[in-house]
Amino acid sequence: MCLKENAVDKKSPSLTVIHKHGPCSQLRPNSDAPTHAEILLHDQARVNSIHSRLARTLNNVKETAATRIPAKDGSVVGSGNYIVTVGLGTPKKDLSLIFDTGSDLTWTQCQPCARYCYRQKEPIFNPSQSKSYLNISCSSSICGSLSSATGNPPGCSSSTCVYAIQYGDSSFSVGLFGKERLTLTSTDIFDNFLFGCGENNQGLFGGAAGLLGLGRNKLSFPSQTAQKYNKVFSYCLPSSASSTGYLSFGNSDISNSVKFTPLVTLSGGASFYGVGITGISVGGKRLPISSSVFATAGTIIDSGTVITRLPTTAYSALKTAFRQGMSKYPMGKALSILDTCYDLSSYNSFSIPKISISFSGGVEVEIALAGILYVNSPSQVCLAFAGNNDDSNVGILGNVQQKTLQVVYDGANGRVGFATGGCS
């Protein structure tokens, strides 16, 4: 059963967010859903990809009106990705897109599929049937900006700009760079929106038509719509795959209880949203971790990574404290990257230590129960955090820990905010 997020009158344009493999999603049958072990394996591939993007230049860290769409939980281009529906073209065609704060370019599969298109829920977009589609020429300066947004220099085909992007799990999209009318809601419509029209696409997109890039590059959705929304968006990821959340644009729906921490820019990772973690508490007690442990490589917040990755030293302290708080319960078998699991199959109820994360600016965020545990089965209930290989790898605040929080990205004012109880 799908439990819809209560449609409180939103002043901001808002999309519904759903989980890609839950009962709220019609992308593909549940029989096609990956196992938890597969999800975690793909998640590690995404993390490895992020680490390799940032590896060379990690030592230099510096600080530096609303629309709503329902959000649903997805899977891979990192595995735990979430999905919204937007309209493209004239007449408008609805498409389910994975939204991703770790990516910049928005793209969708397009006819003709020159080499390969994977299976998707909606009919594949056909630009020749839209009155508002235009190709971008190779000689256009905006064609050259694809390099920073995709990590690959643009190509050229019959004088039309060609993009190529690949992801950590070997998924990729290649096609024509174009502009088109994008519709969020009946009143929020953007002409000449720059996007990729993918004619050769492969990967684990789980039936979604493509990807909505919410990163910080000038080709990202927040940058292209900055005149209207001032680079402000917020979302709430639902507590389970059977509930919905939302993705809102602009600042009309931001809760008064949101607490903001400064946005940090990682050298070599200017598209990512960096945050400054200063500490972790378990059961109300601050763990004895030096703040320099978190500062060494820095941390990004990412909607596409599933499990939060901590510096080795920090994860070790968290694991030790959590295991002490759970000492009366029998340990279970490890699940992929998750090494602190419990067999709770013989318990009708159980209690777990609270976990909160502290950020620079004096912000403390309590993680919801759904963000502390990753449940494979009653006999395999795991602490939903993992350690990096070493303290020099960037930390990642993943989407499991973000569940039910209202997370606010305020690019114009250089800050990220959190409030508890954003959705159920």
Active site residues: 100, 302
As a 3-state breakdown, the chain gives helix, strand, coil percent values, each rounded to 5, of 15, 40, 45
Q: Closest Cα to residue 404, out of 43, 73, 61?
A: 73
Within 10 angstroms of residue 114's Cβ, the number of other Cβ atoms is 14
Q: What is the Cα–Cα distance from 200 to 210, expressed in whole angstroms? A: 12
Amino acid at 243: S
Q: What is the Cα–Cα distance from 112 to 368, expressed in whole angstroms? A: 45
Amino acid at 417: G
Q: In the numeric block, which tokens belong to residue 80?
A: 């735990």
Separation of first and last alpha carbons in the chain: 15
Within 10 angstroms of residue 141's Cβ, the number of other Cβ atoms is 6
Amino acid at 305: T
Sign of CA dihedral 71, 72, 74, 78: positive
Question: Cis omega before residue 330 (within 30°)?
Answer: no
Extended beta strands in 158-296, E state? 160-166, 172-185, 188-202, 210-213, 232-236, 246-249, 259-262, 264-266, 269-275, 277-282, 285-286
Amino acid at 198: G
